[in-house]
Copies of this chain bind each other. A is one copy, B any other.
Amino acid sequence: MSDPRRPLTLRDVSEASGVSEMTVSRVLRNRGDVSVATRERVLEAAKALGYVPNKIAGALASQRVNLVGVVIPSLSNMVFPEVLTSISAVLEDTGLQPVFGVSNYQPEREEAVIYEMLSWRPSGIIVAGLEHTDSARAMLENAGVPVVEIMDTDGSPVDSAVGISHERAGREMAKAIIAAGYRKIGFMGTRMPNDHRARKRLDGFRAVLAEAGIGLADSEFYEGGSALAKGREMTEAMLTRSPDLDFLYYSNDMIGAGGLLYCLDKGIDVPGRIGLAGFNNVDLLDGLPVRLATMDACRAEIGRQAAMIVAGRHPEGLIGGEVVTLTPKLEPGGTIRQ
């Protein structure tokens, strides 16, 4: 050994086992026929040396990369880790490996992440949302690999899409609330110009209210901090300044849960005096004293289907263009009058 810290190569294994590099390569990839004796000799040598194949070289030579890029806006949202988990689970059996990137809800950052990912020539890309910079969209269109946009289907996908209509989710919730007899409705959500899905839900929600001849009686937006605490604070503030509200619609379950805990604390009659609803159907809700009304965002199913689309596509014979629109289910819980 000239330099003990030089990374090992196929050649080292070849020399150690007295077999050609080519045959070593075949053994290590389980490709082609190799005699049992040779195979064992090679495996033994590779293990003894602690050889780890160099996928960079392998990928360059074979023009094949077992990576799937996954771009999401945030990790702290609790929603995305769940999608990632279901993507991982599906890809596990396919030999594909997910690689995650986070855009922090910034379009330019997303563009940079997509560029970086494409430069590794992945087998596919999964990206949250349909809104991208022109440049990012162009890159995705020209990538020559399956592109699946997830979470949302209100818009024009680059290629395939799996998600729900957030506009419709907002509409359905508004309908249910009105049907239950609530009329003075307040809204709380994040102040994030680039959270298009939250915006679409609010748009749909407002549209139905407008059709019913009522408007949002109050609304408030927050940023940063603990969502549960924010929900509590905002609810207190809103009920103080608009005491006649009879319903609070939250853009996510965490702030909704905060609001619910506040109301229970104060002994406010829920859902009699006031109703509450969130969005996402996160696990957390199971542990609350009263179940918050919510709408399931189908996160696990979205991840599953997106991964299957990416995995199922052969590099050749690209068809693409599937759009899967899942239907979110309203979970009335115990915070909407029956």
Contact = CB atoms under 8 A, between A and B. Distances in A.
Contacts of A88: 102
Number of chain A interface residues as a range: 35 or more
A181 interface: no
Contacts of A97: 116
Nearest to A66: B116
Contacts of A265: 289
A227 interface: yes
A19 interface: no
Most buried by B among A56, A227, A232: A56
Contacts of A230: 287
A52 B228 contact: no
B120 A56 contact: yes
A36 interface: no
A154 to B, nearest CB: 27
Contact of A52 (B60, B76, B118, B229): B118
Interface in A135-159: 138-139, 142, 144
B102 A99 contact: no
A37 interface: no
Interface of A: 5, 7, 50, 52-57, 59-60, 65, 75-76, 78, 81-82, 84-85, 88, 97, 99-100, 102, 115-116, 118-121, 138-139, 142, 144, 225-232, 257-258, 261, 265, 283-289
A84 B97 CA distance: 18
B121 A227 contact: no
A88 B112 CA distance: 14
A84 B225 CA distance: 18
Given A75-B84, A116-B97, A226-B284, A57 B60 contact: yes
